[in-house]
Structure 1
Amino acid sequence: MRGIFPTLIIGLSVLVSCSTNPYRKTNRVYKKQAKEYAKELSRLPARENQVESALNYGEYRVGTTNFNLRKPNFVVIHHTAQDSVQQTLKTFTLPRTQVSAHYVIDDNGEVYHMLNDYYRAWHGGIGKWGNTDDLNSTSIGIELDNNGKEGFSEAQVKSLIDVLEILKEKYGIPTANFIGHSDIAPTRKVDPNKNFPWKELAEKGYGHWYDEAEVEKLQFEDEFFEAYPLDFPVHPELDFELDFLDELMFPEMVPSGFDYLMALRIIGYDISDPVAAVRAFKLHFIQENTDPVLSNYELKVLYSLYRKYL
């Protein structure tokens, strides 16, 4: 009997040490900081200790009854470019790293919700999408455990889609606003990598994709009319549209003078560096190569997508 109790105590100690959350200290820091933000948000406007108190306020302090929390409008997807989810969790809980995300999804599909969706995570850095140049303030950041070179597991993608379904439903995030880090920061980032299943996500309503059959049918206007010139005379005094001829004779065409940079801009890309913008577009939608030149097929893909974003 004497040997049983020490053994039992040792066993219980091991069990307790194994079940203890290794992030309990950083969780306390999270709760403390969240309380401070909650205290700040609960204050009525125009308190005497605020800088704004120097303004010529009215007689009464009046708080409106009509408000709610600001909601995210974008989801930005990343890969961690680290060796394990444990390494990423540690990175996101060290103050000196100055980087974080709302969600981290392990290769095995486990989801770590690290930050309340209404808080501003530090995941996007310097970037731009459309007219938005502070994506951290308007987006939710999702990091996928991936070293940047490998594919994404079925379990991981399933969990990602589960998270996206909740976010889209809860916040009404538009289909077009599910994007990648490389989309918003084309000169700096290449995540998520070329193995990421953007097409699969788009088929479920998270981001746009192109209709491959439609792209195959597209022709370039210049090439079409060079091959099939209009050889019937049109009287200059006739003033009517030939729409019926368009429908009967002409396939869908990429118009003459199609401005690929403007199309990229309309989709959302920052075109201040055209080479980087083309690379980012191809990383997302072509994925087979990311050289900064658009082939005829890739121009058709761009045109097809551009029309979705109009």
Structure 2
Amino acid sequence: MPKHHLLLLLTVLILTACSPKGPYAVTNKVYKEQAETFAETLQSDEPVSLLDSSGIKIPSEWVGTVNFNLRKPNYVVIHYTAQDSAAQTLKTFTMTKTQVSAHYVVGKDGKVYHMLNDYLRAWHGGVAKWGSVTDINSSSIGIELDNNGKEPFATAQINSLLTLLAHLKKTYNIPTANFIGHQDIAPARKIDPGKQFPWKLLAQKGFGYWSDDVLELAPENFDVATALRLIGYDTANPTAAIAAFKQHFVQVDNLPQLSQLGLNVLYNLYQKY
């Protein structure tokens, strides 16, 4: 082999060996760099700098406590991707211009893609509210299911989701009531995870509540808006809140009104919260 060909081959081999591996090597590198920046922030021991009303600096000193730990997520929000494949979603979540992300993506085949450390804040909830919480992203884990919104959820996918939810509930002691959907927290603008999502199955496994088999008749003076708010719904748009409640807990029709069945289910459920 000519000497210049050998030199070229060696150069290629060296560059290949030094290059990141895999289709997401570049974004993984960016993730690591950003995480290291956050780690440096956490290790900062500079005391707060404050000025009084006269502009005079208030004395301050850093004294590190020994009693602390990481803040933990308290909610799990389930979405569907509304895209055609897990690969498409992974691409979406690894492009800065999209400004969206999730902690996990679960493929139709059951494969779980862990995209962000559970203690970090993903951008999945958007403008949302649940109970008194208006910054959902800061207190939740976002899970995206590979589903275009028009198809049933695959069995392997749901099985993996249930295993993941069990892990999250145990690890972070997440309350049963705090497993919710995107439509629940943003009823006026979102409909995922959709009418085909098996909320009843999740509730049977301890991830959310479901109504009892035998329902008591809701009283004539039953306050629907108050019951929805007690569960967590934002009732600023009552029609949207009712539609979201029905899609999660009734799953009979998409009408934005409560039938007697819907009233009975709501009356039964709000007493569990």
Tell me if both proteins adopt one fold, taking TM over 0.5 as the criterion: yes
User: 1:21: Cα distance to partner?
Assistant: 1.4
Partner SS for 1:308: coil
Distance in 1 (CA, whole Å) between partners of 2:196 and 2:73 is 26
| Other-structure match for 2:58 | 56
Taking a change above 3 Å as real, the CA distance of residues 108 and 55 of structure 1, as seen in their structure-2 partners, is farther
Q: Which amino acid aligns with 2:231?
A: I
| Other-structure match for 1:261 | 225
Distance in 1 (CA, whole Å) between partners of 2:57 and 2:119 is 30
2:27, 2:94 within 8 Å by CA — same for their partners in 1?
yes
Structure 2 residue 227 is the aligned partner of structure 1 residue 287? no
1:109, 1:155 within 8 Å by CA — same for their partners in 2?
yes
2:50, 2:58 within 8 Å by CA — same for their partners in 1?
no
User: 1:290: Cα distance to partner?
Assistant: 1.7
Structure 2 residue 32 is the aligned partner of structure 1 residue 68? no
**1:141-152 to 2 correspondences below 5 Å:** 141-152=142-153
What do residues 162-186 of structure 1 show as CA deviations (whole Å, max 9, x unaligned)?
A: 1101100010000000000000000
| Other-structure match for 2:4 | none
Taking a change above 3 Å as real, the CA distance of residues 55 and 176 of structure 1, as seen in their structure-2 partners, is farther
What do residues 4-61 of structure 1 show as CA deviations (whole Å, max 9, x unaligned)?
A: xxxxx9xxx9xx9xx94100000000000000000010011417xxx55874124x42
**1:47-196 to 2 correspondences below 5 Å:** 52=50, 55-58=57-60, 60-196=61-197
What do residues 208-262 of structure 1 show as CA deviations (whole Å, max 9, x unaligned)?
A: 00112x21xx23xxxxxxxxxxxxxxxxxxxxxxxxxxxxxxxxxx233000111
Q: Which amino acid aligns with 1:128?
A: K
Partner SS for 2:47: coil
Partner SS for 1:66: coil
Distance in 1 (CA, whole Å) between partners of 2:251 and 2:205 is 19
**TM-score, scaled relative to structure 1:** 0.79
Q: Which amino acid aligns with 1:56?
A: I
| Other-structure match for 1:302 | 266
Segments of 4+ moved more than 4 angstroms = 51-55
**TM-score, scaled relative to structure 2:** 0.89
Partner SS for 2:206: coil
Q: Which amino acid aligns with 1:258?
A: F
Computing the radius of gyration over CA atoms, which structure comes out larger, 1 or 2? Answer: 1
User: 1:286: Cα distance to partner?
Assistant: 1.5
Distance in 1 (CA, whole Å) between partners of 2:110 and 2:43 is 37
Q: Which amino acid aligns with 1:289?
A: D
Distance in 1 (CA, whole Å) between partners of 2:57 and 2:110 is 53
1:45, 1:63 within 8 Å by CA — same for their partners in 2?
no
1:199, 1:209 within 8 Å by CA — same for their partners in 2?
yes
What do residues 134-163 of structure 1 show as CA deviations (whole Å, max 9, x unaligned)?
A: 100000000000001111011000100111
Distance in 2 (CA, whole Å) between partners of 1:198 and 1:29 is 36
Partner SS for 1:76: strand
Distance in 1 (CA, whole Å) between partners of 2:50 and 2:96 is 31
| Other-structure match for 1:234 | none
Distance in 1 (CA, whole Å) between partners of 2:247 and 2:26 is 39
| Other-structure match for 2:236 | 272
User: 1:288: Cα distance to partner?
Assistant: 2.4
Q: Which amino acid aligns with 1:57?
A: P
1:184, 1:270 within 8 Å by CA — same for their partners in 2?
yes
Structure 2 residue 28 is the aligned partner of structure 1 residue 32? no
1:71, 1:138 within 8 Å by CA — same for their partners in 2?
yes
User: 1:295: Cα distance to partner?
Assistant: 0.5
What do residues 255-291 of structure 1 show as CA deviations (whole Å, max 9, x unaligned)?
A: 3300011110101000010000000001111222121
1:128, 1:135 within 8 Å by CA — same for their partners in 2?
yes
2:247, 2:254 within 8 Å by CA — same for their partners in 1?
yes
Partner SS for 1:112: strand
Q: Which amino acid aligns with 2:113?
A: Y
